Amino acid sequence: MEQVIEFCRYISSFGGRAYLAGGSVRDKLLGIEPNDYDIEVYGIPNLDEVLSNKYDVDLVGKAFGVFKVKDYNFGVSYPRTEYKIAEGHKGLKCNFDPYITTKEACGRRDFTINSMLYDPLTETYIDHYNGMLDLNNKVLRETSDAFDEDPLRVLRAFHFISRFNLTPTKSLIERCKKLTMVGIPKERVWEEFKKFITKGCYPSKGLQFLEETMWIIYFPQLQRIPINYKAIDKFGKLKGKKLEVGLAILCCYMNHQTRAFLMQMTNQISTIKYVSRLVYSIRPKYDDFRVKEYSRDIIWIDLFTVHQCIYGTSASLFNTINKYHLFPDKYK
CA 225 to chain centre: 24
Report the distance separating Cα 135 and Cα 138, nearest Å. 5
* pLDDT (average), residues 137-164: 96
Helix (H) or strand (E) holding 27: helix 23-29
Q: What is the pLDDT of residue 65?
A: 80
Whether 1 and 130 map to the same domain: the answer is: yes
Q: What DSSP letter does each residue of 152-213 carry, written as one string?
A: HHHHHHHHHHHHHT-EE-HHHHHHHHT---TT--HHHHHHHHHHHHHH-S-HHHHHHHHHHT
Question: Does residue 180 fall inside a structural domain?
Answer: no
Based on the domain organization, do 247 and 121 belong to the same domain? no
Q: Do β-strands 37-42 and 74-77 pair in parallel, antiparallel, or remain unpaired?
A: parallel
Of 80, 109, 137, the residue at which a domain comes to its end is: 137
| Mean pLDDT of the region 15-25 | 96
Instruction: Indicate whether 320 belongs to any domain.
Output: yes
Residue 331 pLDDT: 47
pLDDT digits (tens, 9 = 90+) for 233-280: 999 999 999 999 999 999 999 999 999 999 999 999 999 999 999 999
Which tens digit of pLDDT belongs to each residue from 94-147? 788 999 999 999 999 999 999 999 999 999 999 999 999 999 999 999 999 999
pLDDT of residue 86: 61
Q: Give the CATH number of the domain where residue 79 resides.
A: 3.30.460.10
From 121, 137, 153, the end of a domain falls on 137
User: CA dihedral defined by 122, 128, 132, 138, rounded to 10 degrees?
Assistant: -160
SS3 214: coil
In a domain, 179, yes or no: no
- Which residue in 193, 199, 331 sits closest to 263, CA to CA? 193
Same domain, 15 and 128: yes
Question: Which of helix, strand or coil describes residue 243?
Answer: helix
Task: Supply the range of the domain harboring residue 106.
Answer: 1-137
Flag whether 104 is in a domain.
yes
Residues 42 and 58: beta-carbon distance below 8 Å: no
pLDDT at 92: 61
| Residue 227 located in a structural domain | no
- Domain limit, last residue, from 137, 172, 204: 137
Q: Establish if 225 belongs to a structural domain.
A: no
**pLDDT attached to residue 332:** 45
- What confidence score (pLDDT) does residue 24 get? 93
Q: What percent of the chain has pLDDT over 90?
A: 73
Mean of the pLDDT values across residues 300-307? 93
- The end-to-end CA distance of the chain, in Å, is 39
State mean pLDDT over 187-191: 96
Q: Which pLDDT tens digit goes with each residue over 21-31?
A: 999 999 999 99
Distances (CA, A) of 257 to 91, 181, 251, 305, 307: 32, 21, 9, 22, 20
Is 211 a member of any domain? no
32-84 pLDDT, tens digit each: 988 889 999 999 999 989 999 999 988 767 766 888 888 888 889 999 876 66
pTM for this model (two decimals) = 0.90
Q: Quick one: average pLDDT of 163-173? A: 98
Which residue(s) pair with 139 in the sheet?
167
Mean pLDDT of the chain: 91
The number of distinct structural domains making up the chain is 2
Q: d(Cα 88, Cα 203) in Å, to the nearest integer?
A: 26
- Check: CB of residue 69 under 8 Å from CB of residue 55: yes
User: Does any domain span residue 325?
Assistant: yes
